[in-house]
């Protein structure tokens, strides 16, 4: 991969992960390993009903079990947190079920014991009587259903654009977002052809291998929370709000994470362990099982209805999309997904007339939040499948059709924001070059058919967000970077060290990165949405520049000539007479942003930067069984200028393989509202044999003008386009269109039978 080497040679170099040794020896620190003296283990009793009123909770048998410390319900929680509802967008989620359960698997009560086996046994002895309520599971049906998940909407006060929803009653639509550009009706009327399709995606789960885990240690006026969280600053603010305490009495510490992928954001177990520790005045730890993760946070299933008006020579004049996001029983960050990704629902295309409606919908399923792409993979599944269908219907090559319609720098995206540093054209060209789309291709013969497909997704960085960093130079001249970015495997520690080292002319390997501890590290909005390299990277760069200026000032104060490169340790020694002192630099990055207009979704600056992810897939299909193999997967990304080329490549590779799981095998399955496959035995994440036979991960030359050393984010980019590229390749191979994820051999076989005029019945004949 091409990398621009900077003068100091720290940025653009494939520095090995700083924590490499700790990870290969097993010594790396995770909350999973944490044991606090006097600690109790909590085990959650979960709802067995998808939607029900709680008539009675009987804890007597559980409480009587030898070794049980205490059984806790919402009534106990209220004694320490009078209004026990939390959430980043809506304060709709109770710390434990409060008179009602809204999905099967919802936490109802907690058993505490010194021995976690005792806690587990006790949790199973808690008895709950329910009065069942009608339930709704489908996101489209829920918009019209008489089954209401929340009687009244409770938006958090923090977002001015949600205020209008306050107190809205008897609806499952938590948020509706609209975007209007031009006049879609006029655009359709002027079109030669109009195409309309509906696409759906399934519910999946992040499946970090370190399951959710949090511990709290409370005293009368202080609380420390150790948690596997991607957002320690948010946790502190939200816990402080719940307790009615100032922020400086809440401390949140985060070591390494065993995977996050968007699951470990906002509040998950933190409010619960905080309440438990305050109630019993002992440290409390809760470690979820793999199964319980499915009841904690998931990826939104979505239904997308998309319609385009096109001229006969292949120009898209108008596009209308309606998107329903199945947010499950609690909003989590779903309303943000609805809006922040909703405005890209028309895809990476230059379209004069755009009309978008995006709805966050409550249902009686486990909650959905952010998962590596923040909604873009669901949208790209729809708009890139749709775009391919249009090209094929017009008899044009999908490549040529896209070339004609893609957004280019200087043109205006559907929000009204002018595109910059967003090389969609270069990503498309590179895909073409690697896939050889314009060369003759053998589609195979007999029952083995081959095909190729491409797709491109576009994502806006979430805005507005802020990162603050501190660079501390110690008495011996060594450097510590203090930042709230969580290294959950993406390699942020290493990248931040490289950026500080570049500015300060140090070796990246010798910089240490201090892990998030809200008593020590400054504010950061969260490790999410591919925002850290840009936002925290900029903050670290500015902090290092501030420190560098202070070093120069110290040298001048000591009478050294300008440009003198006396070692910092010597400067400190001259100043203090011994190895002592600090130089501390500060940096803050606030991404540029103008909020979109409430009615039209228009904004002159809807995001600080855009990210482009393209995929090319080649598949082989056995037409007698529908079985398919992915022969080749090419991932092409725009990441600006890579800070660490190898880490960039592994993010692309890892993201694409994860999305491959969401494309071909992963799906949460339900019967009567009950999850039936909440284990790795039945929910299939990719293993060694699920990889494409060949895979390439490439970046296009680029630089984000406002990014640190030209960099932008990369964590999600390779997820955008994988699913539609595969569906498009299947269409190319056998002429059938799969519109619903996951793509299975059965779905392909059924589609082939329909195409052959011999549809298969439900009985499989």
Partner 1 sequence: MSTAPRALRFTLNGAPAVAQAAPHQTLLEVLREQFNLVGARESCGQGLCGCCTVLVDGEPISSCLLLAWFADGKRIETVEGRPPDGALDPVQESFIETGAFQCGFCTPGFIVMARRLLERQPDPSDDDIRHYLSGNLCRCAAYPEILAAVKLAARRGRSA
Instruction: Name which of residues 114 to 143 contact partner 1 (CB under 8 A).
Output: 117
Can you spell out the DSSP letters for 488-512? SSS-HHHHHHHHHHHHHT--GGGEE
Report the alpha-carbon distance of residue 462 to residue 369 in Å, rounded: 14
Total length of the chain: 765
* Residue among 145 and 485 whose Cβ is closer to partner 1: 485
Residues 428-457 that bind partner 1 (CB under 8 A): none
User: Would you give the end-to-end CA distance of the chain in angstroms?
Assistant: 51
716 is catalytic: yes
Tell me which DSSP letter residue 705 carries: T
CA–chain centroid gap for 681, Å, is: 24
Residue among 238, 352, 666, 716 flagged as catalytic: 716
Beta carbon of residue 111, minimum distance to partner 1 (angstroms, whole number)? 17
Least separation in angstroms between residue 33's CB and partner 1 is 4
Q: At its nearest, how many Å lie between partner 1 and the CB of residue 635?
A: 12
Rounded alpha-carbon distances, angstroms, from residue 469 to 28, 65, 73, 241, 618 = 24, 49, 40, 24, 44
* Site for partner 1 contains 39 (CB under 8 A): no
CA distance 93 to 269: 12
Q: Please, what is the minimum distance in Å from the beta carbon of residue 21 to partner 1?
A: 7
User: Which of the ranges 456-464, 574-582, 599-607, 642-650 carries the binding residues for partner 1, by CB under 8 A?
Assistant: 642-650
Residue 20 within binding range of partner 1, rule CB under 8 A: yes
Contact 711, 587 (CB under 8 A): no
Stretch that binds partner 1, among 31-39, 276-284, 318-326, 561-569 (CB under 8 A): 31-39
Residue of 681, 758, 761, 762 interacting with partner 1 (CB under 8 A) = 681
Note whether 290 binds partner 1 by CB under 8 A.
Answer: yes
- Write the CA distances from 301 to 116, 204, 370, 579, 758, integer angstroms: 34, 8, 12, 58, 30
CB of 475 to partner 1, least distance (A): 29
* Residue 631 binding partner 1, by CB under 8 A: no
In whole angstroms, what separates CA 585 from the centre of its chain?
Answer: 30
- Got the DSSP string for 429-491? HHHHHHHTTTS----EETTEEEEEEEEEEEEEPPSS-EEEEEEEE-TTS-EEEEE----SSS-
Cα separation of 211 and 193, whole Å?
50
Does 676 help bind partner 1 (rule: CB under 8 A)?
Answer: no
Select 171 or 296, whichever has its Cβ closest to partner 1: 296
**Does 600 contact partner 1 by CB under 8 A?**
no
Closest CA relative to residue 260, chosen from 216, 229, 302: 229
Q: Which residue lies nearer to partner 1 by CB, 697 or 728?
A: 697
Task: Using the minimum distance from each CB to partner 1, give the nearer residue, 35 or 169.
Answer: 35
- Binding residue for partner 1 (CB under 8 A) from 124, 133, 691, 703? 691
Residue 669 CB, nearest distance to partner 1 (Å)? 17
Burial (CB < 10 A; 0-12, 13-18, 19+), residue 170, is exposed
Distance of CA 34 to the CA centre of its chain: 26
Span 468-527, contacts to partner 1 by CB under 8 A: 488-491
One of 3, 16, 605, 665 touching partner 1 (CB under 8 A): 16
Applying CB under 8 A, which of residues 38, 440, 671, 688 lies at the interface with partner 1?
688
Q: Which residues pair with 467 in a beta bridge?
A: 524, 589
Binding mask of the shown chain, residues 700 to 739, with x at each position contacting partner 1 by CB under 8 A: ----------------------------------------
Give the one residue of 5, 33, 476, 592 binding partner 1; rule: CB under 8 A.
33
Among 8, 140, 552, 685, binds partner 1 (CB under 8 A): 685
Report the alpha-carbon distance of residue 71 to residue 53 in Å, rounded: 20
Within a 10 A sphere around the Cβ of 225, how many other Cβ atoms? Answer: 27
Write the burial class of residue 331 (CB in 10 Å: 0-12 exposed, 13-18 middle, 19+ buried). buried
Which stretch, 181-189, 200-208, 411-419, 514-522, contacts partner 1 (CB under 8 A)? 200-208
Residues lying near partner 1 in the complex (CB under 8 A) are found at 14, 16-17, 19-28, 30, 32-33, 35, 117, 206-211, 256-261, 289-290, 488-491, 646-647, 650, 653-654, 657-658, 679-681, 685-689, 691, 695
- Residues belonging to the active site: 716
């Amino acid at each position: 991969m091409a990398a621009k080497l900077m003068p100091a040679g720290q940025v653009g170099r494939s520095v090995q992960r700083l924590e490499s040794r700790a990870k290969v020896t097993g010594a790396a620190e995770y909350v999973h390993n944490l044991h606090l003296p006097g600690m109790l283990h909590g085990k959650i009793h979960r709802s067995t009903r998808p939607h029900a009123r709680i008539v009675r909770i009987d804890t007597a048998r559980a409480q009587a079990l030898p070794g049980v410390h205490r059984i806790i319900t919402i009534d106990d929680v209220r004694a320490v947190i009078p209004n026990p509802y939390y959430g980043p967008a809506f304060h709709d989620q109770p710390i434990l079920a409060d008179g009602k359960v809204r999905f099967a698997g919802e936490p109802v009560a907690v058993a505490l014991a010194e021995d976690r086996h005792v806690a587990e046994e006790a949790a199973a002895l808690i008895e709950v009587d329910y009065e069942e309520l009608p339930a709704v599971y489908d996101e489209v049906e829920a918009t019209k259903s008489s089954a209401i998940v929340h009687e009244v909407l409770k938006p958090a006060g923090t977002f001015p654009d949600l205020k209008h929803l306050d107190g809205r009653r008897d609806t499952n639509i938590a948020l509706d977002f609209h975007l209007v550009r031009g006049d879609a009706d006029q655009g359709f009327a002027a079109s030669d052809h109009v195409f309309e399709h509906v696409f759906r995606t399934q519910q999946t789960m992040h499946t970090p291998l370190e399951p959710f885990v949090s511990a709290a240690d409370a005293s009368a006026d202080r609380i420390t929370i150790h948690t596997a969280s991607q957002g320690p600053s948010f946790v502190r603010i939200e816990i402080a709000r719940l307790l009615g305490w100032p922020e400086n009495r809440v401390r949140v510490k985060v070591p390494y994470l065993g995977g996050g992928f968007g699951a470990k954001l906002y509040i998950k177990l933190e409010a619960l362990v905080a309440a438990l520790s305050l109630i019993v005045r002992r440290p409390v730890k809760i470690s979820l099982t793999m199964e319980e993760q499915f009841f904690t946070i998931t990826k939104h299933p979505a239904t997308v209805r998309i319609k385009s008006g096109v001229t006969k020579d292949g120009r898209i004049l108008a596009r209308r999309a309606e998107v329903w996001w199945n947010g499950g029983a609690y909003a989590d960050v779903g309303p943000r997904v609805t809006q922040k990704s909703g405005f890209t629902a028309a895809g990476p295309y230059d379209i004069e007339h755009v009309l978008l409606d995006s709805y966050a919908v409550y249902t009686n399923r486990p909650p959905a939040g952010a998962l590596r792409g923040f909604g873009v993979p669901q949208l790209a599944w729809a708009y890139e499948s749709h775009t391919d269908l249009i090209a094929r219907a017009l008899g044009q090559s999908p490549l040529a059709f896209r070339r004609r319609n893609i957004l280019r720098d200087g043109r205006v995206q559907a929000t009204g924001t002018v595109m910059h540093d967003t090389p969609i054209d270069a990503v498309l060209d590179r895909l073409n070059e690697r896939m050889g789309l314009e060369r003759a291709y053998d589609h195979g013969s007999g029952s083995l058919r081959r095909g190729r497909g491409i797709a491109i997704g576009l994502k806006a960085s979430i805005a507005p967000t802020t990162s603050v960093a501190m660079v501390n130079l110690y008495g011996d001249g060594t450097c510590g970077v203090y930042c709230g970015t969580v290294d959950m495997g993406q390699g942020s520690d290493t990248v931040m060290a490289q950026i500080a080292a570049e500015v300060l002319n140090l070796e990246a390997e010798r910089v240490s990165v201090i892990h998030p501890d809200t008593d020590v590290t400054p504010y950061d909005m969260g490790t999410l949405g591919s925002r850290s390299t840009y936002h925290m990277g900029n903050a670290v760069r500015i902090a290092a520049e501030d420190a560098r200026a202070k070093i120069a000032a110290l040298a001048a104060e000591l009478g050294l000539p300008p440009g003198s490169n006396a070692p910092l340790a010597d400067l400190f020694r001259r100043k203090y007479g011994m190895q002592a002192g600090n130089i501390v630099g500060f940096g803050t990055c606030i991404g540029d942003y103008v909020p979109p207009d409430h009615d039209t979704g228009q904004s002159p600056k809807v995001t600080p930067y855009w990210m482009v992810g393209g995929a090319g897939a080649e598949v082989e299909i056995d037409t007698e069984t529908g079985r398919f193999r992915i022969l080749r997967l090419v991932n092409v990304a725009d990441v600006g200028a890579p800070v660490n080329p190898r880490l960039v490549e592994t993010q692309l590779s890892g993201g694409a393989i994860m999305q491959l799981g969401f494309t071909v095998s992963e799906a949460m399955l339900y019967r009567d509202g009950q999850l039936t496959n909440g284990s790795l035995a039945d929910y299939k994440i990719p293993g060694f044999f699920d990889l494409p036979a060949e895979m390439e991960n490439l970046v296009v030359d680029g630089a984000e003008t406002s990014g640190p050393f030209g960099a932008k984010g990369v964590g999600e980019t390779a997820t955008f386009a994988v699913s539609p590229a595969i569906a498009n390749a299947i269409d190319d191979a056998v002429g059938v269109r799969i519109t619903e994820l996951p793509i299975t051999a059965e779905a392909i076989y059924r589609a082939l039978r329909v195409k052959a005029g011999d549809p298969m019945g439900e009985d499989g004949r």
